Amino acid sequence: MNNIFPHAFQVDRMDRNKLKGHNSFVIWFTGLSGSGKSTLANMVEKELYQKGIHTFSLDGDNVRSGLNNNLGFAREDREENLRRIAEVAKLFVDSGNVVIASFISPLSSDRNFIKNIIGSKDFVEVFVNTPLEVCESRDVKGLYKKARIGEIKNFTGIDAPYEAPFSPEVEVKTDLEDAEVSVSRIVEYVKNKLEIKK
């Protein structure tokens, strides 16, 4: 980048981590619409909060109604959506927070790109593996119905692709286990990464 000179501030991430008493990183939930990303993210955040961990949630519909309200669901728009979110997540990690991000992030290339921006050591991928039929039967927002009758185009799982992650750090199957069980597996996994210093 020409003529851009990032300033090295004297209070850095390590200082903020020390002040907060734990490390910061991103827990990234990927899965189909209705798979359970937001439900589990909310429960994980509550549990971490109760343990005194500083958290911040970033969620598809919330970010898309503000920062990214000029973006739709075409491939280039999803890429830009996820690029901005990854950059925002990185800033929050720098601020010392554990970020809980819930986005469909449908392609392996999307998630590789995100991981590169955030840095692989700060990225925990959680695959919310719920079969399309189950997500569709839940149809929490009535979007699958609209996608099936062609009212929504490019809907993930219907006429836009979703690629399952190859080796997520945690995989949960919401049709086979209770949310509480998934949450405790996720929290158990991230415990080591927190390395509470207090």
The order of strands in the sheet holding 123-128 is: 55-59, 98-102, 26-30, 123-128, 170-172
Binding map of ligand ADP across residues 73-112, x = CB under 6 A, - = no contact: -----------------------------x----------
Q: Binding to ligand PPS by residue 82, rule CB under 6 A? A: yes
Q: Binding to ligand PPS by residue 89, rule CB under 6 A? A: no
What's the rounded Cα separation, in Å, for the pair 39 and 81? 21
Three-class DSSP category at 100: strand
Residue 81 binds which entry of ligand PPS, ligand ADP, none, CB below 5-8 Å type-dependent = ligand PPS
* Interacting positions 138-177 with ligand ADP (CB under 6 A): 138, 140, 174
What's the rounded Cα separation, in Å, for the pair 162 and 150? 18
Whole-number minimum distance, CB 10 to ligand ADP, in Å?
A: 39
Q: Binding to ligand PPS by residue 107, rule CB under 6 A? A: no
Q: Are strands 170-172 and 55-59 parallel, antiparallel or unpaired?
A: unpaired
